Structure 1
Amino acid sequence: MSQFSEIIRSPKPTLVDFHATWCGPCKMLAPVIVDLKKTVGDKLTVLKIDVDKNQEVAATYGIQGVPTLILFKNGNIVWRQSGYLTLNQIQNAINPFI
């Protein structure tokens, strides 16, 4: 958790994808996240957190459904959304922060 905390405290925005291996919408979102990373490059850090393997982190941020995307900047949550989103929807939401 300390390494996670260190990463999200960065001034560089960090998008965290809370997911689970058994989750259908999570599997649909995975290639969207890959495309997002290609599009924004080094302006954004992307982390994938498996909620089943990282229950402490998921509980800390009140993750009750997957997928849940949270954008952190300087340790603060600046955007949060649960459910499947298109590349366009994610970009429109996070662009003001990157």
Structure 2
Amino acid sequence: MPRKSFSELIDSPGMPVLVDFFATWCGPCKTMAPILEQVAAQHGGKLRVIKIDVDRNQAVAQQYRVQSIPTLILFHKGQPVWRQAGVVPAPQIVQALRPFVEQ
């Protein structure tokens, strides 16, 4: 199966895509991992969560002006609609998702 480009990954009609910009050496990024797993499980198939390693994907991180990690960016129909840097509690992520997750 061919690898998808970043734009193909975020252009998911009808399904929001939450991108976690992280690095393997980042402690706060490791804190976010179980929070994102919880949010993904809570939205059962109505949300795609992808992780982008900023060390391996510097061009994408620069394109979206990621200056600190972790940074979460929510994409809807390929467009960024919400972003937050730092560790974000699950309720704040869920609130940001609410207008974009099909009920």
Fold match by TM threshold 0.5 = yes
| Other-structure match for 2:68 | 65
| Other-structure match for 2:85 | 82
- The answer to whether 1:22 aligns with 2:25 is yes
Residue 18 of structure 1 and its aligned partner are, at CA, apart by 0.2
Residue 3 of structure 1 and its aligned partner are, at CA, apart by 2.0
Q: CA RMSD for the aligned pairs? A: 1.3
- The answer to whether 1:6 aligns with 2:8 is yes
Runs of 4+ in structure 1 off by over 4 angstroms are none
CA distance in 2, matches of 1:9, 1:21: 25
CA distance in 2, matches of 1:36, 1:94: 10
| Other-structure match for 2:44 | 41
Q: 1:54 to 1:3 in 2, by over 3 A?
A: same
CA distance in 1, matches of 2:28, 2:69: 8
- Name structure 2 gaps, 5 residues minimum: none
Query: Normalized against structure 1, the TM-score is what?
Result: 0.94
Residue 7 of structure 1 and its aligned partner are, at CA, apart by 1.9
Q: Percent of counterpart pairs with the same letter?
A: 54
CA distance in 1, matches of 2:67, 2:4: 22
